[in-house]
Structure formats: structure tokens, C-alpha cells
Amino acid sequence: MTAPIVLGIESSCDESGAALVRADRTIVAQAIASQDEAHRPFGGVVPEIAARAHVEVVGPMVGRVLDDAGMTLADVDAIAATAGPGLIGGVMVGLVTAKALAMASDRPLIAVNHLEGHALSPRLADPQLGFPYLLLLASGGHCQILEVRGVGDYRRLATTIDDALGEAFDKTAKILGLGYPGGPAVERLAKEGDPAAVPLPRPLKGAKEPHFSFAGLKSAVLRAHETGEYAPADIAASFQQAALDCVIDRTSRALQAANGMTALVVAGGVAANAALRGALQTMAVDHGLRFVAPPMALCTDNAAMIAWAGQERIAAGLVEPGGDPLDFVARPRWPLDPDAEPARGAGVKA
Ligand code: KG4
Ligand code: ZN
């Protein structure tokens, strides 16, 4: 018998995705559609535009990955979709699609927490990665440090009290007129600048709790830019240095608070940043830990990680034989660790 296969659907932000993933970690087929072009004129993701784009793309995309794999829904064992957290209009599109497919094919629905998708994606790429591991999850929407103890078992050690790290890169790019998404553009320009040229703050550096804050850094970047005294490349380099100083300080603080970690893992779109990867790798070596950074296609939002989270939930016995209820309600907020204390001063971020 071949390993069970799960169809995954992702639509929580500005990427629509569908993927077929086997329990033996084979990604049988996958598709991803980015909406960068649609949101670029606005310098950030516009929820209504995102939801409409998912409506157009998600259904046909599921058909395409099944065609690519030479399969029909009858060959699929379960249908997993992101059910939150995220932009609610988009989440509803993917979840409703999955419910309809589950109902039509009499297959179980698996309602996946998008953050669990990110948290377990490193195990799709790396069969050697066992629990527990420390995960830095840094994207445009999330900035957390989690102890990943097992499937469905997470302890959040840190979150951001204002902006996510990717958001800080995107806002810096906007200030410097570099376009959207900003992270890659800031990283590129930073290579030409002096990271010590602009004096910038390191918010929360040295604080006891390992939480993050980037709003003050972003404001300082804006003020520095408005003086007209600094070259954009120097601002980009100084911003990146300040942001990474914060991340390294906060992550090493979290490592002190964690117990028995087997690896240091980074996921989320900001994991594309080579300077960040390098600094984390050094930290891992210093602590005698393995460093794991999944391939970029698995770090940014994608459906393979959602299908894989479905596989992990099945294997862990967390999915009822009939699947999750078809009236499962999409959740704009859905913390992985419901017992985590709110960070002091925390705003709207989950
Ligand atoms: O995970 P992702 O694709 O989408 C979500 O936000 O969920 O992450 C996108 C974020 C954006 O903020 C983008 O600017 C940032 O990741 N990013 C980077 C780099 N590549 C992408 N930030 C810093 N350096 C990069 N090379
Ligand atoms: Zn994400």
C-alpha cells in the first residue's frame, strides 16, 4: 500500500496554494500563486483584494495539482486547509473550498492552524528533526519564538508587542521607496551600505522576557531618512543590523528559557535573509545545537506545509476518523499556545 496522501490548501494571506503530500514526505504536486503584483501599488496586503484573488485561483489550482499528479479526489485520504489565523476573507475561501471538496468526496476535513503549518514544515524537509526544537517564526505577519514539543504541543516563549520582523523590513523599504515586498530589496541595498553609519535603537534588547518590538526602530528609520543626511544604503544596512541584533539577543534569551532543545530552527519569509541565517547558525553552533532552515519554498506561505501538518495530525492521532466538523469556523486569531501570557503592551498580533 502506498503512504496516505493529503491535499493541502493555503489562503491566509497573499499566497494561494494547493499541494499533495504523502505521509512518506513526498510532495507529489504543488502550486503557488503570489499576489504581489495586485498589492504592490498599495505597499502592503489589502485584505479585500486578497480574498477576491483567492476566490479566482484556489479552485482551479486544486484541479491543477490533482491533474499534475494524475489523481482524482478519490486518491486523496484527507483534505487539510488553513482555518486561521490570518486575513479572515482569504481563510474563509480556502476553508470553504476544502469543506466542499471533503463533502463531495466523502473525505475527512482537517482544519489546520497556519502557525502549526510553519512550525512543523521543517520536519517535512528534514526527517532527522525530532522534538523538541526551538523555532523562530518570522514573517510579514508573525514574529514568535516557540518551543515545539510535539504535534499540537507548543509553548510560546516570545511574540512581538507591535510589528512583525518582516513588517519592519517592508516598512523600511516603503520609507526608502524600494517597493513591496520589501525584505529582499532592503537586504540587497544593505550590502552596499555601512551598518554602523546610522545610530538606531535596539528595542527590548537585554529585556528579561524574550519578546520583540520593532515599531520604535521603524520610526527611527523614518526620522533618519527625513534628515536627508544619510544614504539609503547606509540606512538599509543600519536598519538590518539593528533588527538582527534584536533578533539574536531575543532568541538567545529564549534559548536560556527553553529546556532540552535538540535544534534551532527558523521558518517564515524572513528566513530568506542570508545575514539572519548566518547569525542564527553561529548561535546554534555556540549552543551545541543543530541549525535547521527549511528550503525557502517551505519557509514562505505554501500549501505543502498545510498538507504536512495534516499528515502530522493524523499520525499523532489528533484527527477523528470522520475529520474535523464541517461547520468548523474560520478563526482570524488562533494562538498555538493558548496558555501563553500576553506580552506587555501587546497590540493586535496573535
Ligand atoms: O512568510 P511570508 O511569505 O508571508 C507572511 O508574511 O506570512 O513572509 C513574507 C515576509 C515579508 O515581510 C518579506 O519582506 C519578508 O518576509 N522577507 C524578507 C526577505 N525575504 C522575504 N525579509 C528580510 N530579508 C529577506 N531576504
Ligand atoms: Zn505565514
Prediction pTM value: 0.93
Whether residue 323 has its Cβ less than 6 Å from ligand 1: no
Q: State in words which class domain 130-293 has.
A: alpha beta
- Residue 328: which H helix or E strand, with range? none
349: confidence class by pLDDT, cuts 50, 70, 90 = very low
Angstrom distance (rounded) from CA 25 to CA 127:
8
Kindly report the CATH number that applies to the domain delimited by 5-119+298-315: 3.30.420.40
pLDDT digits (tens, 9 = 90+) for 276-286: 999 999 999 99
Distance 10 CA to ligand 2 centre (A): 9
* Grid cell at residue 173: 523599504
Whether 45 contacts 54, CB under 8 Å: no
Tens digit of each residue's pLDDT (9 = 90 or more) over 216-260: 999 999 999 999 999 999 999 999 999 999 999 999 999 999 989
Say which ligand is closest to the CA of 305.
2
Q: What's the mean pLDDT when you consider all of the chain?
A: 94
Q: Kindly give the distance from the C-alpha atom of residue 119 to the centroid of ligand 2, in angstroms, as a whole number.
A: 10
Distance 233 CA to ligand 2 centre (A): 28
Report the candidate in 130, 154, 129, 132 with the shortest Cα–Cα distance to residue 142: 154
Is the bond preceding 332 in cis, omega lying within 30 degrees of 0? no
How far, in Å, is the centroid of ligand 2 from the Cα of 136? Answer: 12
Q: What is the pLDDT of residues 327-346, one digit of tens each?
A: 999 999 999 999 898 887 65
Determine what percent of the chain is predicted with pLDDT higher than 70. Answer: 98
Ligand 1 binding pocket includes 294 (Cβ within 6 Å): no
Where exactly are the structural domains of the chain?
5-119+298-315, 130-293
Say what the pLDDT of residue 1 is: 56
Peptide bond into 47 cis (omega under 30): no
Residue from 32, 214, 270 whose mutation best tests the ligand 1 pocket (most atoms within 8 A of CB): 270
Contact by Cβ (8 Å): 157, 254: yes
> In this structure, how many other beta carbons lie within 10 angstroms of the beta carbon of residue 169?
31
The verdict on the CB of residue 275 being under 6 Å from ligand 1 is no
Q: Which of 189, 288, 174 is nearest to 241 (CA)?
A: 189
Nearest CA to ligand 1 atom 8: 269
Label residue 126 by pLDDT band (50, 70, 90): very high
Is there a common fold for 5-119+298-315 and 130-293?
Answer: yes
- What is the number of the ligand 1 atom nearest to the C-alpha of 274? 26
State which amino acid sits at residue 282.
Answer: T
